[in-house]
Every structure is written in structure tokens, then in C-alpha cells.
Amino acid sequence: MYYSYRSAMALIFLAHPSLHTSLRKNCARFSDSITQSLGIDQIPVQADAYLLFKRAARLKGIEVCMPQDEFSHIYRLERMFKASDIIKNRTGFIRGNSSAAIVHHRLASSLLTAPDAPSAIERWRRVDAESGADQKWQEYQAVSEASSADIVAMHSAIQASDAVSEHVVLPELAVRIYGPSAGSHRACDDRQLAQKPHPTRTLDYSAKHGLKVEIPAHKFSQIQEVAHMSTPLIENLKNRRFLTISGLRNSKVSLLVHDHFDHAVTFKLLRDAGIMKRYEHFLSQVGNPQNCDILSREGELIASISYDYRFTSYPRFNQLSLVSYDDIVKMLRANPSLSPNQSSALAICQERLNDPEFTKRLPVVVSGVYTEMMQQRVKNGVIKTVQGNKQVDALRLTDPEYLALIVETLDCMYKNRPHVKKQLLNTQLMVEDVLHQALEADGMDLVITVSGQTVDEFTRPSRVPEHRARWIENNLGAISDRNPVIG
């Protein structure tokens, strides 16, 4: 089932007629239909928050150079995720997939902005009702079944936590944005601007040589812990962190599927289809991830499309959207002078208008991509547009050229479904085989290469028991969800 939250936001704007003007004035670069529909723009930011942030940074020896509107946007998102964590801890409902994240964001922003307990209860119930009350996925039941007392307790905990955010969140943000970690916002910005090719993570290198995967011997015990279970090892271990993938340490098992299929396979698919060439100007504006590092922050612009393609291949869950198919067409048409790529994407939307699967799937993929990008903004910073040696602006979530790329990527994956399905199935079977190989290892670290060729050539029978192979084949999209799958 597919649901849209646009009607809910219409009610909010009717109740607050000055909201649109206020939003444009305070966060024009970061306010759009997506942030509004999730309630992010309604999260208040105290007038002196930016000064307090700069002061917290200085205490850690950090000089702030982030524009105030970007800080306000990140600060809102960070507090929303803090509230989301409280909801997760109280209900057991996690942000396991894009649709679950949409519900989480709306619940969190609702409780953050609710002025009192009755409002908190009413807003929670409204989000629940708009999520599709008749077709909930199993992990979601705690949201529907939350009592008024539960909701009031979560509202109180969120409000109490948010009240001290200047003492807790601001110092944490300063370190995440400017700290020494390779994943800090500043480090990601610096790499985007430098555009220095990574020795093993360019598209050319990955297409020829694949991804190097290492499993240290002292982690084999984690695999042995779940070896007795009937479901595949890859399913039971997907959230465990013990892989090194092309130099990226402490990677989750599920990321091997993500990094190979969503990054390496999808990038190559777009290059072979000529799409990468046509979007050369757009990609140059965001740092040329295909030439520098397909696993970079900017590489997620393409990989997240493929990720949500996988998720929408998996019918176990409600699949929620923030936009409708008509909205996407209108967003593409909004530009008075369409680029050739935007014209191409618009033509695809018109050609597929009578394709019920595509018209249902595209809004879910677009919404999922935007939701993933907001999570990435908190973790690794806002992707900028680059001109020469300067970062000149933030890439908008609803940038029309990027929206066109989403449409064309999904269309390309549809046109190549046999190849895409084979790569996705064989990737997961190969990872499962590797995990079984570790069970038989003699105590030495395991090092393998996962490439398009090795995946294409992977055949059964293998170390994978037939019942586990069938389970993977019947649940191809399960690895895209962090929730465990039962049965």
C-alpha cells in the first residue's frame, strides 16, 4: 500500500497561515515540500542557538564557519533524531527502512512541537492513522498500540531531553561537524572539494577489480553464534559490524550488499546505459563521485536510489510516500527552462503513466531517497554544489536535475530487470557463501573480492544450504531492512 502525507500538512498550514512566509524567511535554502511534510521546519530553534553553538565549539578549540541557516537545519534534524531514539527505545519500533523512517520523523517532530499532553496524543494518533491502519507491518504494532499514558510519557521525555539540548546536542554537533573523524562534515566537505581519486574506490577500479572484503578471524565467533538458525546467516548478521570493505572498517554485513549492488553495480549500469555521461555536468557539480570515490557521501546520491529500488522489491511492508506521482511530474515541470535530462525524465513519467507498478513505486523511491539524504545530512553533512575550488551552495533535496536522475535511474533498473535481479540475488548468495566459508576457516583472516564478474559467475551449488538459498531468493529485499525477518 502507498500513502501520502501531503493532506496532513495542509491542515497544519491552515492552522498556521503565516507559516509559509516564516519558513521562507528563516530557512529558505533548506525548506521545501519534504521538510515541511515531515514537520522538520516546525521544530523551533532558539534565537541564541547559533551563538551557543559557536561558544560550545570554541571550548573544544573549534572555529565555526558554517552558515547560520545550515546550522539551524542540522540542529533541527539532530533534535528530531534524538526524539526518534526515545520513541525507538520506548516502543521497540526502529528506523529500519525508508518507510519506517518517514513514520519516525513525523512522530518525533510531532512530539517535539506538541505544546501539551493532549496535543501530543492527538498528533500521535493522526500520524498513526495516516500510516495505513489496516496494513501495519509487525514491528509497527507498538506505535498503534501505544496508550495515551505511553504517549504522554514519551512526550515528557522528549521535551525534557530537548530542554537541555544546548548543553548536550550542541557540543556533540561541534565534534561531528568539525572533529577529526574521516566521516565528519568538514572531512567530507574537504574530500568533495579536493576531488582526489581514491586508489581503490573509483568506478573504473571497482568495475575492473571489485571490492576487497576482509573478515578478521576473531570475529568468526559471531557467525558461529547464529549458525544453528534456519534463516540465512546474512539475515541474522546483517546489523553486525565486523567487515572491512575496501578499507572501510567496522562495516555492517548488510553494507557489503549495499556497497557492491547499490554503488558498484548501479554506477556501472548507469555508465553502460549512457546516463552517467548525460549527467556529467550535474555530477561535476557534486564532486564527481564516479571518478573519485563511489562509496563517498556524494556516491549515496545514486546508491540510495538503488537501495530504495531494493526496498520496494520487498512487499512485506507498507511503503509510504511523501509525494505523489503527479507531484513528481509537477516538480519536473516547475522549471521554466527544462534541461535535456529533465525533459527526458518527464517523458519517462508520461510514457509510464499507465504502468501501475512504476507509478506506485516511483513516489516511494523518491520519498525514500529524500529521507535517506536527511539522515546523511546529520551524519556526514549537507552535500554542496561545487564550482572550481569553491563550494557555492547546498544541494537541495528537490533539485530538479537530481529528481530527473532518480527517475532515469529507476527506469534504467526497470529496463534491465533480469540483469539487476541476477546481480542482487547472486550478490546475496555470494555473501552468504562467504559467511559459511568463515565457519570452515582455520583461524586465519578471510579476504575475498566481490566484483561484477565474480558475482555473475557465482553458481549453485555452493556452501549455502538449499533452504537458505531459496529463502534469499524469496526475500530479495529483506537485506534492505534493519528489522529482523521472521520465517
Three-state secondary structure of 222-251: HHHHCCCCCCCHHHHHCCCEEEEECCEEEE
134 vs 413: CA distance, rounded Å: 31
Which has the closest alpha carbon to 307: 94, 38, 99?
A: 99
The cell for 469 is 538459498
Instruction: Classify 21 as helix, strand or coil.
Output: helix
322 vs 386: CA distance, rounded Å: 28
Q: Is the peptide bond before 461 cis (omega within 30 degrees of 0)?
A: yes
Which has the closest alpha carbon to 432: 469, 466, 467?
A: 469
Q: What is the pLDDT of residue 316?
A: 59
Q: What are the tens digits of pLDDT across the range 217-266?
A: 999 999 999 999 999 999 999 999 999 999 999 999 999 999 999 999 99
Using the structure block, give the residue that is written with the C-alpha cell 534541461. 339
**Span of 28-42, 91-105, 414-428, 453-467 with lowest mean pLDDT:** 453-467
Q: What are the tens digits of pLDDT across the range 150-198?
A: 999 999 999 999 999 989 999 999 999 999 999 999 999 999 999 999 9
Q: What is the pLDDT of residue 315?
A: 63
User: In degrees to the nearest 10, what's the CA dihedral of 403, 408, 411, 412?
Assistant: -140
What percentage of the chain reaches a pLDDT higher than 90? 78
Query: In terms of C-beta density within 10 A (0-12 exposed, 13-18 middle, 19 or more buried), how is residue 479 classed?
Result: buried
Residue 6 banded pLDDT, cuts 50, 70, 90: very low
Residue 484 banded pLDDT, cuts 50, 70, 90: confident
Query: Are the CB atoms for 225 and 240 separated by under 8 Å?
Result: no
Which has the closest alpha carbon to 121: 141, 143, 105?
A: 143
434 vs 220: CA distance, rounded Å: 11
Q: What is the pLDDT of residue 317?
A: 56
Mean pLDDT over each residue of the chain, to the nearest integer: 90
Q: What is the pLDDT of residue 108?
A: 97
Which has the closest alpha carbon to 257: 479, 407, 32?
A: 479
Q: What is the pLDDT of residue 458?
A: 86
368 vs 350: CA distance, rounded Å: 22
Q: What is the pLDDT of residue 26?
A: 42
Q: What are the tens digits of pLDDT across the range 289-346?
A: 999 999 999 999 999 999 999 988 876 556 789 999 999 999 999 888 999 999 999 9
Query: Are the CB atoms for 235 and 469 separated by under 8 Å?
Result: no
Which letter, b or e, does each residue of 305-328 get, where b requires 16 or more Cβ atoms within 10 Å of its Cβ? bbbbbbbbbbeebbbbbbbbbebb
Q: Which amino acid type is present at position 195?
A: Q
The cell for 190 is 574537504
What stretch of H or E contains 371? helix 356-380
85 vs 292: CA distance, rounded Å: 34
Which has the closest alpha carbon to 104: 117, 85, 120?
A: 85
Q: Is the pLDDT of residue 13 over 60?
A: no
List, in sequence order, every beta strand (DSSP E) within 240-299: 241-245, 248-252
Residue 284 banded pLDDT, cuts 50, 70, 90: very high
397 vs 370: CA distance, rounded Å: 6
**Partners of residue 212 on adjacent β-strands:** 449
Q: What predicted TM-score, i.e. pTM, was given to this entire model?
A: 0.92
Query: Are the CB atoms for 41 and 10 separated by under 8 Å?
Result: no
**Span of 36-45, 128-137, 140-149, 347-356 with lowest mean pLDDT:** 128-137
Q: Is the pLDDT of residue 430 over 60?
A: yes
Mean pLDDT of 390-403: 94
Using the structure block, give the residue that is written with the C-alpha cell 532515469. 408
Q: Is the pLDDT of residue 25 over 80?
A: no
Q: What is the pLDDT of residue 7?
A: 41
Query: Are the CB atoms for 390 and 253 separated by under 8 Å?
Result: no
**Residue 383, CB half-sphere, CA atoms under 13 Å: how many?**
27
Enumerate the domain spans of the chain. 2-178, 197-419
Query: Are the CB atoms for 213 and 447 separated by under 8 Å?
Result: yes
Rg of the chain's alpha carbons, rounded to an integer?
A: 22
Listed in sequence order, the residues at least 6 apart from 389 whose beta carbon sits closer than 8 Å to its beta carbon are: 193
Which has the closest alpha carbon to 279: 305, 309, 308, 317?
A: 305
The cell for 392 is 557555492
Q: Is the pLDDT of residue 465 over 90?
A: yes
